[in-house]
Structures are given as C-alpha cells and as structure tokens.
Amino acid sequence: MEMVEKADHAQAEMLKNFEEKINRGDAIEPKDRMPDGYRKHLIRQISQHAHSEVIGMQPEGNWITRAPSLRAKQILLAKIQDEGGHGLYLYSAAETLGISRDEMIALLHSGKAKYSSIFNYPTLTWADIGAIGWLVDGAAIVNQVSLQRTSYGPYSRAMVRICKEESFHQRQGYEIMAKMMKGTIDQQEMAQDAINRWWWPSLMMFGPHDSESPRSGDAVKWKIKRHTNDELRQKFIDKTVQQAEVIGLTIPDKDLKCNEATGHYDHGPIDWDEFYRVINGNGPCNKQRMDHHKKVHQDGAWVRAAAEAYRQKKEKQSLN
C-alpha cells in the first residue's frame, strides 16, 4: 500500500513539474520527465510529419526528368532533396522520444501511421509543380512557423531550419505560376487548371474544423499546437488570395469574399467526405504512394545493412 502511495505521489509531482514548465513556456527536452500521453502524442504527430515529407518527394520526383529547362530541373532536384532532409530531421526528433526509425516505418507500412492527405493527388502537368510549391509548401509554412514555438525542444528546433527552406520552396512554386501566367493562353489555362485541382486539397492539409478535431484539446493544452487548425487555415487563405490576384489566377471558390467586419476572407464549404476518404486510404494515389515506398524501402535494405556493418567495424576498431 505504501509503495502504491509513493508511486502516486511521484507521478503527481512529475505532472506538477511538467505542467509548470508548459505554463511558463519552457521547452520540454528529451531527458525531462513527461506524461506518457504527451510522449505518444508527439511520436504520432512528428512521425506523421516525417512520413509526409518523405512521401511528398514522390509526386514531385515524377517531374524531374520532364522539367522544362536545366534551371527548373536543378531547382526541383534541390527542393526534393530538401524534403528528404526534412524527413530525416523529423525522424531524429521522434527518435528522442524512444521510438526507432524501423518502428515508425513499420507503422507507416501497416497503415497505422498517416501522412499528409495532400500527397495522394497526382501531378498531371508542370503547373502542378508550381501549385505544390506555392500552395502546398505555402500551407506547410503557415503550419510550421507556428510549430517553431511548439513545446517539445527537438521538434521546435527542427522547425526553425525547415521553415527557412520551405520559404525558398514556396517562392520557386510561385515563380513557376507567375511565369506561366505571363505565357501563352495554353500555359495560363494549365496554371488555372492546377489551382482548380490543388486549392481545396491544400485547405484540407490543416486538418478538420476545430469542432471536429479530436487531437486539438491535448495539443493546445500541452502547447504542442500554438494555433488551431481553423486559425492556420484562415491565415493561409488570407495571404494566398492576394498572391493569386497579383498574377491573375482565380481561386476556385464562388463563396470566397472579404468579410469587412472580421477583416478575413470567408470561404465556401470544404468537402470533408473527400478528406476522410483520402486519409482512410482511398484517395487517387494512396496505393501507388505506399507501394512505391515499400518497394524502395525493401530495395534499400542492403544500404542499411552495409551502414550497420561499417558501424560495427568502426566500433571494434575503436575498442582495439
């Protein structure tokens, strides 16, 4: 009985210290004691974020061989390489919480871990590469700037670097769209078609409305999320509508209008049936994305085995 009481007391003390830290706005670091729910919440979110970065390389990789100039190809290659790097920082941040890379990949392959809905749509034309950079990276920046102040130290620090690279990505996408809008009628139509297809899925990247978001309660309480899904979506809409106007693109939402009372753009309804279809594995490219990831992971097994053999050899040498 006494031992149970002692354990309860220690648990209550840990919770009190943790909550005080969160309330003061201090970062939680890997060696700090933290509630199990906080650890699990972060493992889920950070690993899903990492998977999104890596799976996101697929739709863009599809256009490396078809980029319209050497300059465009170099920029696209650099961008895709950055996304791979973001995945690696994020897997490392998640590993500090006590899960291994292998476990995270196994959860992805079994369908238990999600990745961003946006990467289950196909890239049909070069303008889609512009739309991804401008809208998808644009949406990612809005979310990630907010996450720079997330309460978990390693996640917050990874975000600082990632945001710097994402702003270059957003600009390269906007440049592609701006260039096409100054081009031929066919190019302008291609750019408009891309925004017609990518606009609504980009809004879905922020997740369900706050009233339908089961994870938000804990995330806000623990300061993992510093802004809610709807707040960030609104921020993205407000800044993107103006960018579209500057280059002559039309946002495909007939209900979109500036609300003078709030100072924000009101928008039409989002198709949440489509969102849930996609996150439950039935989007246009879910199967293709997962099949490709599994194949490449399997094909790369020899690289992981060689790296491990090299590590063991070095360890042995250092002991001699």
Interacting residues toward ligand BYC by CB under 6 A: 44-45, 48-49, 52-53, 56, 83, 114, 116-117, 136-137, 140, 143, 204-208, 213-216, 219, 229, 279
Q: Name the residue nearer to ligand BYC (CB basis): 135 or 190.
A: 135
Minimum CB separation of residue 104 from ligand BYC in Å reads 13
Whose Cβ is closer to ligand BYC: residue 44's or residue 292's?
44
Of the pair 14, 175, the CB lying nearest ligand BYC is at 175
Q: Quick one: 93 or 205, whose CB is closer to ligand BYC? A: 205
CB of 2 to ligand BYC, least distance (A): 39
28 phi, psi to nearest 5 deg: -90, 130
Q: In the complex, what is the shortest distance from the CB of residue 3 to ligand BYC, in angstroms, rounded to a whole number? A: 35
Q: Least Å distance between CB 106 and ligand BYC? A: 16
Indicate the residue among 9 and 40 with the shorter CB distance to ligand BYC. 40
Closest to 215 measured CA to CA, from 205, 228, 202, 204: 228
When the beta carbons of 188 and 209 are compared against ligand BYC, the nearer one is: 209
- Positive or negative CA dihedral for 182, 186, 187, 191? positive
Q: Distance between CA atoms of 292 and 283, rounded to whole angstroms?
A: 15
User: Within 10 Å of residue 125's Cβ, how many Cβ atoms?
Assistant: 17
Least distance between ligand BYC and beta carbon 241 (Å): 20
Evaluate whether 289 touches 120 at the Cβ level (below 8 Å): yes
CB closer to ligand BYC, 19 vs 212: 212
CB of 310 to ligand BYC, least distance (A): 30
Considering the complex, what minimum distance in angstroms separates the CB of residue 210 from ligand BYC?
8
CA distance 72 to 70: 5
CB closer to ligand BYC out of 114 and 277:
114
Q: How far is the CB of 99 from ligand BYC (least distance, A)?
A: 15
Residue number with the shortest CB distance to ligand BYC? 56
